Amino acid sequence: MHDRITDEIVSILTAKLKVNKALLTESVFNEPLAGPVMQLQGTDLAYLFCFVQEAFGIRIPEEYVLDYKFNTINGIRNAVIGCMKQ
């Protein structure tokens, strides 16, 4: 389950937000998306939030954003898993 979710998140980042796929190795999955590696902007994260909800057919509660749980690939994956369990 984790692999499919991660693959979809990586696909969204590369296809919709034009992140270089070469940057998206497992070693950066805990790095902040707005940090020095991926350098996403606030608007990119807002779009990512919407794209992820649409791709997985879920509604992500605001606490995932407010608590900085939606700022890494692994954090987003965990948010998706948490929302799917509800």
pLDDT tens for each residue of 24-49: 999 999 999 999 999 999 999 999 99
- What number of CA atoms fall less than 13 Å from residue 50's CA on the CB side? 7
Q: What is the pLDDT of residue 2?
A: 56
This prediction has a pTM of 0.92
- What number of CA atoms fall less than 13 Å from residue 48's CA on the CB side? 28
Domains, the chain, in order of start with CATH, read 2-85 (1.10.1200.10)
Distance (Å, whole) CA 67 – CA 86: 19
Residue 21 scores a pLDDT above 70: yes
Angle at 67 between CA 54 and CA 15, to 5 degrees: 35
Tokens 């954090």 belong to 75
